[in-house]
Amino acid sequence: MKSNLLTGIFYRADRFFCSLIILHPLSYLSTSFVEEEHFYWYFTFATLLAYTMFKDKNNRKSLLPLLFLQRLLRNLNQTGDKWANLPDLGDWFSLPENKLYITYFYFIGLVFGMFANWKCSWQNDTIITSEVILIIAQGVTTYLYNTAIGRVSVFYDYDKSSGLWEVQCFWILTAIRTFMAVIQFRRVKTYTTNVPTSIRILSIMIQLHLSVIGLLMKPHNVIIGPSMVLFSYVLGSKVKEQWQLEVLHYWMGMCFFFLMGNSNNIASIDVTVGFIGLEQFNILWAGLFIILHTYAFPILAYLLLTKELLNRKNMKGSSSLDGYATTHLLLNGLPLLVFMILIIVQREHLFIWTVFSPKLLYLMCQTVLIVVLTLIRGLFFSAMTESSNS
């Protein structure tokens, strides 16, 4: 009797996940759902989070903190169309009289980010002094950059400037950190380690990505990156089914995409990040910074999920990663396919340029980005497999 009940719950969970996967592309039939898509991701991700964890009593202790954290993050940025003009925490923090509060909040988020950065290391069980120093130094230069441009304050006189010197120091530290990671990576081959090469390289990529988006984010958004790392860690330890973990990470990436203030309106793209640390405009660097900033969390969710799947004990060969690539491409490609058909059918619609076209651009860019990441991952792991066999 108990076995039949658990089986029924499992199949209901399958139907629940599948119904939401199908429901999302169908929601594009309404322009209002396109304009306010962030609500779909907020509610479905929170519902799936609660549904997944309440299946096991042991998971309930880790549920409420995550739901509370997501609710806090939702208040940071108002997005969408109808309520975008309402004040949010980000607007409140930006007021001159609240500069002290944003300084404290930014400092907490920065420390949280540095801790998450260190925890993402493949060797976080041992404290590597040089790595910790570099992580802290990157955090200090990021803090001084935001101080120089007047976003936050310090408790001593610090001249305002363009922040060019601070950003240059940040990139120098990033280059040093990358060089040291390569040296450690080559040195570790001389002795036995239980950490696969792919996990070590993914860990380095995640750490560098966290550091870069920490520089590009506005002060009140810095806490979002380490929060995603926390969500991914909890999901990886609680969700046993691989395909459910893949779906949850994809939805988490989309949910956090809107949490940072993005919408389906091109006007929500922050183009100012394309000028960070540049003396003059450079279209390549500006484009790269804008893409990394806009799609920071779908990329981070992709990397975190890949690392978690590689960490699973039942991971054997490349079959699971191939299935993962198929699942992720399907989750990105299905909405794009449905939306392209929809936009052809409704090409005479009144809102074809203001609602449908910007959303199509977002979907195309994200799908192309995921395809490129998947191809790089596939070519990279294929090269590693050939080198290990030779």
CA distance 229 to 321: 20
Which DSSP string do the residues of 250-292 spell out, in sequence order? HHHHHHHHHHTT--SSGGGS-GGGGGTT-SS--HHHHHHHHHH
343 lies in some domain: no
70 lies in some domain: yes
191 lies in some domain: yes
CA distance 23 to 28: 9
131 lies in some domain: yes
Which DSSP string do the residues of 304-317 spell out, in sequence order? HHHHHHHHSTT--T
Confidence of residue 5 (pLDDT cuts 50, 70, 90): very low
What's at 380, amino acid-wise?
F
CA distance 171 to 288: 15
The closest alpha carbon to 303, from 381, 182, 389, 203, belongs to: 203
106 Cβ neighbours under 8 A, 6+ residues apart: 143, 146, 151, 152, 219, 220, 222
Asked if pLDDT for residue 386 goes beyond 70, the answer is no
Confidence of residue 47 (pLDDT cuts 50, 70, 90): confident
368 lies in some domain: no
Asked if pLDDT for residue 118 goes beyond 70, the answer is yes
CA distance 219 to 120: 22
CA distance 367 to 187: 37
Output the average pLDDT for the chain: 83
Using alpha carbons only, what angle is made at residue 8 by residues 5 and 9, rounded to the nearest 5 degrees?
90
Q: Write out pLDDT tens, residues 241-251.
A: 888 888 889 99
CA distance 217 to 142: 10
Mean pLDDT of 292-303: 94
The closest alpha carbon to 139, from 166, 178, 158, belongs to: 166
345 lies in some domain: no
Which 3 state secondary structure label does DSSP give 195?
Answer: coil
DSSP 157: -
CA distances from 110 to 135, 138, 281 (A): 11, 10, 28
Q: Please, what's the b/e burial string for 151-175 (b: 16 or more CB within 10 A of its CB; e: otherwise)?
A: bbeeeeeeeeeebeebbebbeebbe
Mean pLDDT of 199-226: 92
346 lies in some domain: no
Expressed as residue numbers, the domain containing 98 is 2-303
Asked if pLDDT for residue 16 goes beyond 80, the answer is no
Q: Write out pLDDT tens, residues 304-317.
A: 998 888 887 655 55
Q: How many domains does the chain have?
A: 1
> Tokens 């990329």 correspond to what residue?
299
321 lies in some domain: no
The number of angstroms, rounded, from the C-alpha of 61 to the middle of its chain's C-alpha atoms is: 24
> Count of CB atoms within 10 A of residue 295's CB?
19
Between 10-19, 79-88, 126-135, the lowest mean confidence (pLDDT) is in: 10-19
Query: The tokens of 253 are what?
Result: 């990436």
Between 32-41, 135-144, 183-192, the lowest mean confidence (pLDDT) is in: 183-192
**43 burial level (CB within 10 Å; 0-12, 13-18, 19+):** exposed
Q: Write out pLDDT tens, residues 322-366.
A: 566 678 888 888 899 999 998 888 888 888 888 888 999 999 999
User: Is the model more confident about 54 or about 227?
Assistant: 227
User: Is the model more confident about 127 or about 156?
Assistant: 156
Asked if pLDDT for residue 10 goes beyond 50, the answer is no
Instruction: Write down the pLDDT at residue 80.
Output: 78
Confidence of residue 280 (pLDDT cuts 50, 70, 90): confident
Confidence of residue 170 (pLDDT cuts 50, 70, 90): very high
Instruction: Write down the pLDDT at residue 346.
Output: 84
